[in-house]
Structure 1
Amino acid sequence: MRLTVLGSGAGLPSKERKTQSIILDLIPEINAYFLIDVGEALQHQLLHTNIKSRKINHIFITHLHGDHIYGLPGFLSSRAFQGGENQPLHIYGPKGIEEWLEVTFQISGTHLNYPFYVHEIHDGMTLSVEGYQVDVRLLDHPIDSYLFVFKEPDKEGSLDADKLKEVGIRPGPIYAEIKESNTFEHDGITYNTSEFLGPVTPGKKIAIHGDTRLIKDSEYKRLIENSDVVIHEATFLDNESEKAHEFGHSEIHEVMELFKSLNIDTTIFTHISNRYDENFLNNIKQKLPEQTYIAEDFFSFQVK
């Protein structure tokens, strides 16, 4: 599982930062990508990667501001000619996303050669997508903006060969048969397979925010605590918390302070304003805690 930030900018694109798009690479797990938000430069950014459009089968839209959706119609159209024919695609987003796409396609005369399905999201819902649990939480922004929390399935423990040898079962093809069964029999005795398995490995947990003011309620904290990676916006970086709140955004230092108590392994900040120059950003980066990053375009992180 790998996260790649294809567009890390806020609002207006710049030469250095395109607007929001994030890839959750699940090729090793399910041979597919999840795409979170579709900034207008997405297609250009993909040309600099090995990501195949036809393997983006699920798109999650945090909210309907232009810097998060203006690349969607173009991507959907191009996918039709990039191996996507007959490859279904699902879009999960706020109310209005389906209407906007229908009007856009109607006026532009766009026709897709693959089925696509739009699923409108709401606060508190839980999706099941390719075996992954996706929890949806409404955030605090001038328009409805959402958090997606992706939970990988837990991985069953490995078969304990030493325990099997203790009851007289030698290594061989039978081990695979035992692993696939709930119970098995040997020398007239029935055993529960679970007694011969190591501990379960918890699945990875990834929380990706749309634009939002800082959230502090207990339900929100419960939802993101113990995450392996949290991606959060940081439109304001210079202790401008009042201005951040006024415009419906977050200030990086306040977010870091909140996250200290939530047992989050890695924090990645994105949605960075282009009013901050390179010197300012480098100064901020040098002061970040361990496993805390300010993303640039094409920032990539392997989730271990």
Structure 2
Amino acid sequence: MRLTFLGTSAGTPSRLRNVSALALQFDQQSAFWLFDCGEGTQQQFMRSPLRLSQLQFVFISHLHGDHFYGLPGMLASRSLQYGADTPVTVFGPPGLLRFMQTTFEVSGGTAGYPLTIHEVKPGLIYEDERYSVTCLPLIHRITSFGFAVVEKDQPGHFDVETARSLGIPAGPLYGRLKRGETITLPDGRTVNGSELVGPPISGRKVVYCCDTIYCQNSIHLARQADVLVHEATYAGEDLELAVRGGHSTATQAAQVAVQAGVKALVMTHFSPRYEGQGVEGTGMERLQTEARQTFANSYIAHDFWSYDIPRHEA
């Protein structure tokens, strides 16, 4: 799995950062998911290796402009510019469907492909054979949701050499054995597939919390995550601004990481005030240093930066 940050600025774009957008790619799968879609996200796609035609799902955290004003244009351009005709499903808070319907009605626009809008409620919002997505409300100035993507456990390593030594021919029988089934061979022998398969490989977990103050639902969502992507709009010295705006400091993001027991914290959604303080990047480095004083494995995201989540070992 890979996270690619397409926008990491809070509120407005800056010289170096666009507003919020985060892509999640999967192993051996061309389709990807997008979390938030601030203004200008479709241009960020043009500057990245990602292909908008392969977009499958969009998850909108809340209805502040820097998180979803890019959505109508991006969805319309996906067909016009890329000729994409595969379905897209958008998940988001109440009001999103009305916004999209009104935008397309007033502008005479259309997606040009099957487009579904789901207004979410807390709990499980999506599940297939490989992944599930859960959302919970966070605490912000308006309704805001955090999302947890959980990969389901995968079967362990199949011992092909032992299967061959038992005279089991390659083919459909291997598939049954990999699923742990017991098979009967032509000579009457029975083989228990569970004896040829190693321990299950636990699935990975990715959590996205933006925008929010420090809150218990962030901790609950992020429990034991491989990576937590959490907003860190302000430095600790600007706590009053964070509280007033319904945002978090870098220290608070790190506190969530510690209490949730995550493996890594990646911070995003930074106030432009921290750019250009003295040497370029000094403000951002200060946010990272602040977070690492609480949680060592903390990182500052920047536009077009990718973070890989390797598959777990058995």
Tell me the CA shift for residue 80 of structure 1: 0.8
**Distance (whole Å) between structure 1 residues aligned to residue 80 and residue 111 of structure 2:** 9
Q: Secondary structure of 2:98's partner?
A: helix
Match of 1:193 in 2: 193
Conserved? CA contact 2:228–2:265, under 8 Å: yes
Answer whether contact 2:222 2:257 (CA < 8 A) is retained. Answer: no
Tell me the alpha carbon deviations over residues 166-213 of structure 1, each in whole angstroms, 9 at most, x when there is no partner. xx5147515634335622124423333122210111111000112001
For residues 223-280 of structure 1, what are the alpha-carbon distances to aligned partners after superposition, in whole Å with 9 as ceiling and x for unaligned?
Answer: 3111001000011113333331221111111221332233211110000000013222
User: Is the 2:88–2:116 contact (alpha carbons within 8 Å) kept by the matching residues of 1?
Assistant: yes
Query: Residue type matched to 1:302 in 2?
Result: D
Identity of aligned residues (%): 33
Q: How does 1:66-215 map to 2 (within 5 A)?
A: 66-128=65-127, 131-161=130-160, 164=163, 169-170=166-167, 172-173=169-170, 176-177=174-175, 178-179=177-178, 182-186=181-185, 187-215=187-215
Larger deviation, residues 123-132 vs 48-57: 123-132
Q: Does the 8 Å CA contact 1:54/1:82 hold for their aligned counterparts?
A: no
Within the candidate set 231, 236, 246, 2:234 is matched to: 236
Paired amino acid for 1:150: V
| Structure 1: stretches of 5+ with no match in the other structure | none
* Cα pair 1:30 1:130 within 8 Å, conserved: no
* CA–CA separation in structure 2 for the residues paired with 1:155 and 1:256: 30
Aligned twin of 1:257: 255
Q: Residues of 1 paired with 2:128 and 2:269: CA distance?
A: 26
Cα distance in 2 for partners of 1:102, 1:163 equals 58
More deviation, 278-287/200-209: 278-287
Aligned equivalents of 2:129 and 2:106: distance in 1? Answer: 33
Query: C-alpha distance in 1, partners of 2:102/2:67?
Result: 18
More displaced stretch, 205-214 vs 107-116: 107-116
Q: Using the alignment, how far apart are the partners of 1:258 and 1:147 within structure 2?
A: 13
Q: Write the letter of the residue equivalent to 1:252.
A: A
Greater mean alpha carbon deviation, residues 288-297 or residues 169-178 = 169-178
CA distance in structure 1 between the partners assigned to 2:204 and 2:248 by the alignment: 25
CA distance in 1, matches of 2:159, 2:224: 28
Distance in 2 (CA, whole Å) between partners of 1:109 and 1:120 is 23
CA contact (8 A) 1:125 1:137 kept: no
The answer for unaligned runs of 5 or more in structure 2 is: 276-280
Distance in 2 between residues matched to 1:134 and 1:215, nearest whole Å: 20
Secondary structure of the residue that 1:280 maps to in structure 2?
helix
Q: Match of 1:3, as an amino acid?
A: L
Decide whether aligned partners of structure 1 residues 203 and 82 sit closer, same or farther in structure 2, where only a CA change above 3 A counts: farther
Question: In structure 2, what is the Cα distance between the partners aligned to 1:223 and 1:35?
Answer: 18
Question: Would you say how many aligned residue pairs link Structure 1 and Structure 2?
Answer: 299
Q: CA deviation at 1:49?
A: 1.2
Question: Could you list the per-position Cα deviations for residues 124-161 of structure 1 after superposition, in whole angstroms to 9, with x for gaps in the alignment?
Answer: 23421573100110000111100110011211011134
Counterpart residue type for residue 253 of structure 1:
T
Does the 8 Å CA contact 1:21/1:37 hold for their aligned counterparts?
Answer: yes
Amino acid of the structure 2 residue aligned with 1:78: S
| AA of the residue aligned to 2:300 | I
Moved more, 185-194 or 115-124: 185-194
Q: TM-score, normalised on structure 1?
A: 0.91
